[in-house]
């Protein structure tokens, strides 16, 4: 398998142990847990993930890749459908969102696995449709070819964005689909039309859900002064929002990043993690860790993510089968988009969406699902004979 990708992925997993242990000080006190509660659970997730990377990554891609991909897609699709009808005793809800299925003391988020299963399915399907899509001489014919995929996406939106109130993962899945359409030969005119439609859909989903609208307004109140100061006064007056309060977690996240400065306060020395940042070991992990390792540390961390994404594109460039290329590039896109959404959220550029940072944030489902997807990339890398 591709040893650089394997090694850099494990490095991120190991760093997640340091980050989660350092940032989970307040949650352990708040919940009355032991100092090592979150570390022990994260260590379990990391050990399982390394096992998956090693074993699955070493499997025969000719025999295992397709059956494994279809299994992930089918089982996760069934899970996100069934969980909508399960009783509260079997589904864990956080802030009204039912996103986890409980198996005793274990909770699994099917959406984390579904986005990679969905990627596999569309990669497999578009590989069979790419010639037809490339030879289409009008945007109407392209739309006709893509209707089944749009129908499937609408089902996904209904299950995840509406049923689970998870707009963030819906955005990731939609961006993945649009990217694969472009890779498979979709025209620029089609791609532009889909982007406009997608943005319109996001606006509709925000407006029909009061909690999303309030979150958006809370974010805007926190950042509007800096933006409106550079606009004409007539525009600034019409865009200013005063009927809601500032989103304190976003303000504190920005202050936490500023507090870290260039070199950081040192591991374990962060102050904003002590109750000022909600979910600091999950959604706000970038802000919490930035205070401790500073701008230099964050740049190195982002560089490691960039290297992982580079290795995936490198592997994809040598794969012969379109389905395999689409899948590998799609995994890179999912990791990139998830990281960017989280990073932009904690820096106030966009409203925070509750998307975990792949391989870094606390949580078993996202770490294991991402590791499984990377393991499938490692499996395919065994077909590649030339390394850099």
pLDDT at 169: 85
Tokens read off for 325: 């290329």
Q: 311, 5 in Cβ contact below 8 A?
A: yes
How long, in residues, is the chain?
Answer: 388
For 272, phi then psi, to 5°, come to -70, -15
Produce one character per residue of 195-211: b if its CB has 16 or more CB atoms within 10 Å, e if not: eeebeebbeebbeeeee
pLDDT at 283: 83
Tell me the β-bridge partners of 103. 106
Q: 175, 119 in Cβ contact below 8 A?
A: no
pLDDT at 250: 77
Tokens read off for 69: 């991909």
**363 secondary structure, DSSP code:** -
How far apart CA 270 and CA 277 sit, in angstroms, is: 11
Q: Which secondary-structure segment (H or E) carries 91?
A: strand 91-94
* Cα-based distances in Å from 48 to 13, 54, 105, 367: 11, 10, 17, 9
pLDDT at 378: 96
Question: How many CB atoms are located within 10 Å of the residue 284 CB?
Answer: 28
- Residue 387: which residues within 8 A CB-CB, separation 6 or more? 2, 4
Question: How many CB atoms are located within 10 Å of the residue 232 CB?
Answer: 9
pLDDT per residue rounded down to tens, the chain (388 residues): 899 999 999 999 999 999 999 998 888 887 778 888 889 999 999 999 999 999 999 999 999 999 999 999 999 999 888 887 777 777 766 655 667 787 777 788 888 999 999 999 999 988 887 777 777 777 788 888 888 888 888 888 788 877 777 778 888 888 888 888 888 777 777 778 878 877 887 777 667 666 666 667 666 676 666 667 777 777 767 777 766 555 677 778 888 888 888 988 988 888 888 888 877 888 888 889 999 999 999 999 999 999 999 999 999 999 989 999 999 999 999 999 999 988 888 877 777 667 889 999 998 899 999 999 999 999 999 988 655 4
Q: 291, 256 in Cβ contact below 8 A?
A: yes
Within the chain, how many helices (H) and strands (E) appear?
14, 3
pLDDT at 211: 63
Q: 168, 353 in Cβ contact below 8 A?
A: yes
pLDDT at 160: 81
Q: 219, 246 in Cβ contact below 8 A?
A: no
pLDDT at 51: 97
């Amino acid at each position: 398998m591709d040893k650089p990708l394997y090694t850099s992925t494990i490095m991120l997993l190991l760093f997640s142990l340091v980050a989660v242990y350092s940032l989970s000080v307040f949650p352990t006190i708040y919940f009355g847990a032991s100092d090592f509660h979150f570390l022990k659970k994260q260590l379990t997730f990391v050990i399982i993930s390394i096992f998956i990377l090693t074993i699955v990554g070493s499997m025969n891609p000719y025999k295992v890749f397709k059956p494994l991909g279809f299994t992930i897609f089918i089982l996760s699709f069934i899970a996100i459908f069934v969980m909508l009808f399960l009783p509260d005793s079997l589904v864990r809800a956080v802030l009204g969102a039912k996103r986890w299925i409980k198996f005793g003391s274990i909770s699994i988020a099917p959406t984390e696995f579904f986005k990679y299963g969905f990627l596999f399915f569309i990669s497999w399907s578009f590989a069979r449709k790419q010639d037809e899509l490339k030879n289409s001489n009008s945007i109407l014919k392209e739309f006709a070819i893509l209707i089944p995929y749009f129908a499937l996406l609408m089902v996904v939106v209904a299950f995840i964005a509406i049923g689970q109130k998870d707009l963030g993962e819906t955005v990731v899945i939609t961006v993945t689909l649009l990217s694969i359409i472009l890779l498979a030969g979709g025209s620029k005119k089609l791609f532009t039309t889909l982007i406009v439609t997608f943005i319109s859909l996001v606006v509709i989903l925000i407006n029909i859900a009061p909690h999303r609208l309030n979150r958006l307004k809370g974010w805007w109140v926190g950042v509007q002064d800096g933006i409106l100061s550079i606009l004409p006064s007539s525009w600034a007056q019409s865009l200013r929002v005063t009927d809601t309060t500032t989103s304190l977690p976003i303000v504190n996240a920005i202050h936490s990043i500023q507090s870290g400065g260039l070199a950081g306060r040192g591991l374990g020395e962060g102050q904003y993690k002590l109750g000022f940042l909600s979910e600091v070991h999950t959604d706000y992990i970038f802000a919490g860790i930035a205070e401790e390792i500073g701008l230099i540390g964050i740049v190195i961390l982002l560089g490691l993510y960039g290297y992982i994404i580079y290795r995936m594109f490198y592997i994809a460039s040598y794969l012969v089968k379109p389905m395999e290329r689409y899948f590998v590039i799609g995994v890179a896109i999912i990791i990139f988009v998830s990281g960017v959404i989280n990073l932009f959220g904690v820096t106030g550029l966009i409203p925070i969406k509750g998307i975990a940072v792949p391989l870094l944030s606390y949580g078993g489902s996202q770490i294991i699902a991402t590791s499984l997807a990377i393991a499938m990339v490692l499996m395919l890398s065994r077909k590649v004979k030339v390394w850099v």
